[in-house]
Amino acid sequence: MDVRSISTFGAVAAEDEPVLNYFVETSAVSEIGEGEKFLVLGRKGSGKTALVRYFNEKKQNGLVSIALNLRGYPWALHAKRSDSDVDESERYEASWRYLIVVEFAQLVAKRLTGLSKWTDEAKNLIEFFSQNYGGLDVGLGDFLRPEKLRLTKASFEPQLLGVKLGGITLERKSEQGGLARELNLLSDLILKNALYLCGREGIEKILIHFDELDQGMLRFDSPRQQMLTGLILATRSVNREAAKNSVKLKSVIYLRTDLWNQINFSDKNKITTTSVLDISWDEASLLKVVNSRVNSITGKNWDAIHDATTMRGRQQKFSYIVARTFLRPRDVISYLNILLSKAKERINTKGGATVFTNKDIVDSKREYSTYLRLELHDEISPHWREWEDALKAISKMGLLSFARISFEQRYPQAVTAGNVYTSEQALETLYEYSVLGAYRASGYGGKKWVYRYSEPGEAWDSSGNLFKVHLGLKEHLALKE
């Protein structure tokens, strides 16, 4: 085998085919499509978008699936559509519920055929869209853009306390409440009409996927947390209402685990228990993805493209690579692409084995380490912009593992203007994102290094005294063992 015949191991994005194929072989697809799961959690690069791609590309009879990409979504505009009359966690539930319902209604209205177009339900929907949006081609970011929704006898006229609403003002001052009540009445009428038409047209199921909710987010502040909470509550509400009908309407949210961990509201534990699908990987499942990719390119598997020697400590090559990742397909693919480049360079200039060698893998570590730091920056900076101050302190210490007291001495010297994190907060945040592992009891009388990415149930312990930097960052920070 000559690895120079491989052009690339593919894009690092989680949308690639081998990741998608892996999910099809698991219960993930059925749990989303048929089960109770509507909140898909996973770390960045874990494969959430691959699931969205599956539903949008694999055509099934009676299924309509649409992905709502929130890249460029007008969050600032949506922030003005809150209701001060309700609890903070519910301030955006009505606006998201309305958005989901009108997206669903638009999908149905576009697919009407034959006599369905002439029913009162169809006429009501079409007139509503015509009056407020100029037709049936409304982008996701435009549903909440009007300052006021017009309501007429020809479209919908919900009644509030026996009085017909001639319109609903969306943009209200903070002291003006009541938006949720009015908007929910309108959403109920639209949903009822759309569900009737959906059944009439023989559409058995509609899936609406909310993906890339973190795109363009500089800070995950309280208003954004409230908006995501509202989306989650609205999704649960609409899914429950639709489940009472023969038509299956389901919204599915794909969210980074760290964002979910930052959100707090009363029903969070209940949703976690019943409605969350957590995407997790181990070495065996990652090897399946790699073998699928290698087989599609060469007709062989991973074992055919490296020599038989083990790494230092008799560790297998793939295990050595995986130990430097966060158990994500994106990390493994990134490492393999760097490895491929290093091996080709070595073969073309010096000759030798035409498969991956130990030296190729070692020579790839520095470039991969820089990649991993950049990935972490995308995840951590919305929560803590000055997080790299802590990296500088660790780099100055120069050791892969260190005692708390050493960090507490170095960290204040690295703190830049605007950084309000104490050394304790810094250590906790680095642990939460698996930059650091903690040395703690293993449960069998011994101790081991614990990382959050591989053992998510192991919460932060403020009494911990020994920490170890993730192996993937060793070269970037120039650390010694």
pLDDT score recorded for residue 175: 61
pLDDT score recorded for residue 14: 46
Q: Give the Cα separation of 454 and 99 in Å (integer).
A: 37
Considering the domain boundaries, does residue 327 fall inside one? no
3-state SS, residue 450: strand
Residues 113 and 259 in one domain: yes
Residues 249 and 101 in one domain: yes
pLDDT score recorded for residue 176: 63
Considering the domain boundaries, does residue 245 fall inside one? yes
| 448 neighbors 442 (Cβ within 8 angstroms) | yes
- In the listed set 243, 278, 313, which residue is the last one of a domain according to the structure? 278
The CA–CA distances, whole Å, from 58 to 19, 20, 51, 94, 188 equal: 15, 11, 11, 32, 31
- In the listed set 278, 309, 335, which residue is the last one of a domain according to the structure? 278
Q: Give the Cα separation of 217 and 440 in Å (integer).
A: 35
Residues 81 and 209 in one domain: yes
Considering the domain boundaries, does residue 32 fall inside one? no
Residues 210 and 85 in one domain: yes
Considering the domain boundaries, does residue 146 fall inside one? yes
- In the listed set 247, 278, 309, which residue is the last one of a domain according to the structure? 278
Residues 259 and 392 in one domain: no
pLDDT score recorded for residue 456: 82
Considering the domain boundaries, does residue 192 fall inside one? yes
Considering the domain boundaries, does residue 189 fall inside one? yes
Considering the domain boundaries, does residue 3 fall inside one? no
Residues 124 and 256 in one domain: yes
Host domain of residue 459: 386-471
Considering the domain boundaries, does residue 448 fall inside one? yes
Q: How many domains does the structure of the chain reveal?
A: 2
SS3 for 81-133 is CCCCCCCHHHCCHHHHHHHHHHHHHHHHHHCCCHHHHHCHHHHHHHHHHHHHH
Residues 258 and 395 in one domain: no
pLDDT in tens, the chain (481 residues): 899 999 988 765 545 566 777 777 778 888 898 888 999 998 888 888 888 888 888 767 778 899 987 888 888 899 888 887 888 888 999 999 999 999 999 999 998 888 888 899 999 999 999 999 999 999 999 999 999 999 998 888 887 767 788 889 888 776 666 888 999 999 999 999 999 998 888 888 899 999 888 776 667 888 889 999 999 999 999 999 998 887 778 999 999 888 898 899 999 999 999 999 998 899 999 999 899 889 888 899 999 999 999 998 899 999 999 999 999 988 999 999 999 999 999 999 999 999 999 999 999 999 999 999 999 999 899 889 999 999 999 999 999 999 999 999 999 999 999 999 999 999 999 999 999 999 988 767 788 999 999 988 788 999 999 999 999 999 999 999 8
Residues 135 and 266 in one domain: yes
Residues 269 and 393 in one domain: no
pLDDT score recorded for residue 345: 97
Residues 261 and 394 in one domain: no
Long-range CB pairs of 177-180 (<8 Å, 24+ gap) are 177/83, 177/84, 177/85, 177/86, 178/83, 178/85, 179/81, 179/82, 179/83, 179/85, 179/94, 179/95, 180/83, 180/85, 180/86, 180/90, 180/93, 180/94
